[in-house]
Structure 1
Amino acid sequence: MQFQIKQQQPKPTIYRILVILTLFFAGCSDEGEDPAPPSGPPPAIVNIIHDEFESEKYAVYANSTFRTMVAYNRILEDGTELDLQPSINAFPIIFEDQEGNTWDIFGEATAGPRAGQRLVPTQAMMGYWFSFASFFPIVTIYGEEMNEKLDSEISGPDWLINQENVFRGAFKDAIPSLDNPVYQSLSGRDLVNPLYVNDEDLTIVIPDQQNLKVIPHKVMDWHESLNDNINGKDVVVGYCPLTGTSTIWNRALNENVLEFGVSGLLYNNNLILYDRQTDSYWSQILQRSVHGNLIGTDPGEINVALEMTWAGVKLLDKGGFKLLSENNGFDRNYSIYPYGDYKTNHERLSFPLTYQDNRIPNKERVLAVIINERSKVYRFEHFK
């Protein structure tokens, strides 16, 4: 099957050259790194919002100090509706309820009559505002009226997305996936810096058996796709540096285990993965195949990607940590951000968007609850 990918001139060519040169010949500039935090910890914004969207009742928790937000369903399997309130206990305990239970940031009851039970995570994702506003036809901001786009995306017979808005940012596999990731086991005093991660660095945190796997954004900026086995299941962790979004998918489909790589294509600046078995293409934010033999396939999310700073990770207590090693067989300087001033220049986008909504600054980091292909967004400033 042949298809044409729209080439935007001159930006994609320049972008492609910069990506390839940066990936293979890391420079010495610190340009693009997040600015140093002010001295002393900022005041934390920690609160809980009870909300309902698309008939689902849930609670959203935010902690601005550790730059994390999570959402959990308030209705338990037995039909009980929990009144989740901020816990008086220290992080990572975040909720307490009317039954006397306390719940941690992973949704596990740590004490009380339901100790050991888990809350069901609401389908949600953190990332830059523009990414959710451009992907979903209906985007609601907490506390505001629903905004419905007047235009609609046109898909062709071979794509679930508009092929005219698919751009090539790099050659296939020019950004190398991590297919046999190496982790460094840490516990106790090992967590004290210096390590190659800093307290303010964002990470992806995934419970794995009795441990936590911790995957820093600064590594995934260079690799974007990580094929792994977590809790005995084959998964792929996808991270898009241009939209700041993370996903964790099941790789085992129809008794076959897929291996994912970086296609080099982007849609609304968001990562399009491909699987090496069928060469099908997968939208990271839509979480389904959008082109190829597996078009329309939903891989099934194994875990909601929990994100927080390394300073927050060090307060977690799950028995031990497995930190993704900086020694994974690639000559990369992970202290250097590979996309220049992209994170700090809030107006800069690498490619056009199908739709742009200016109600929130483009690159403000938000939590999007995604249900029935609709999205509701929460900002840290909502939690006051």
Structure 2
Amino acid sequence: MDLNDSAEAAEFRAEVRDFLAEVLPAGWQGVGALGETERAEWLPTWRSALLDRGLLVPSWPKEYGGSGRGLVEESILAEELARVGAPRFPLPTDPSGFVLIGPTILHWGTPEQKDFFLRRTVSGEIRWAQGYSEPEAGSDLFNVRTRAVLDGDEFVVNGQKIWQTAGIHANWIFAIVRTGTREERAKGLSFLLVDIDQPGVEVRGIRSMADDTELSEVYFTDARTPATNVVGEVGKGAMVALTLLGYERGAGGVAAALEARLELERLVELARSTGKHTDSAIRRRIAACWSTVHALRCLALRTLTTGAAGDPPGPESSITKLVMSEYRKRVTELALDVVGGAALTLTGAPSAASLGPQPRGADPLSSAGWVGDFLHARPGTVYGGSSEIQRNTIGEQVLRLPREPRVTIAPA
């Protein structure tokens, strides 16, 4: 594809830059430079500014709260926000709403589902969590046990979900549930939308080794949701779920590559401050990271080209997930080697982001920030589909290699 903006795209990029110059505070250095309290006070104002300009979900149709722009414009917006260090998703639950369930409802939902859920997601009235993983069904998505039984015109839900990002902030959850038998595997699953704020639903925060409560677990005990809240058809939940994972891995890739590059620039500044920029081994590792970041940008542009052509995400999204997850481990390990002994006596501001690089404005000399990044990167090769699962998907569905033998363990 032509890497230069078209005339229309260039006009939109200029419009976004004018907007940022108008609404960001004087002397703006990036959200990473704000303290925790200051950041919490500013984010609602920032979200309102995006909403008022139609920039919260620019590619959604206007009737659902968007501005009817294309994926290219949405990518440009994400890139420009990353460039200045302004968050694309102000609420903790916005990524689940705008990147995951929103596009999935647009693709699979009924007119009634679109009308009810999408505008409320944009306004922030509905805040989403993702209910895929269970204690015995992580990367093995088709082994879920949470069950939904039809009772009249409602489903009654019982079971447990775990590892919900921003789950303590959510009031709705989109969940993969079993409506058929376990023997049916994928054919027995349905994709269900459930109100969290009801009797029979309990949310418990999970304290992580990074000392935050980013994740949660959700328990269902005879919780209810209307049968009309099935997305797609009953028994077709696996297909809907895999479509959603494609959106998760394909959206905002160009901006993510830019954020990774900005992180490397901070890492270089850290290496200079510690004197390790002259270490030949450190220099080689930094160069290898630069190469990977460039590859991530190329993958993102390819994904953007596919999406802009109107094609849905496919198994190739596993390549981006695998490369990014493994890269996050590698670059944060390098960062701690550059930090050195200071990692044992934490100083500076803690990390402001938990699912990726710190935004512009983060202190490159903060050992607390780099240690937080290191800890947050550890589970990245597990959540959203483990690296092992991604390699299987790439081998079997992209490269068309023979399927890995499936081993069935007989019950004792």
Normalising by structure 2, report the TM-score. 0.23
Normalising by structure 1, report the TM-score. 0.24
Q: Which has the higher contact order (CA 8 A, sep 6+)?
A: 1
State which structure, 1 or 2, has the greater radius of gyration over its C-alpha atoms.
Answer: 2
Name the structure where strand makes up a greater proportion of residues: 1
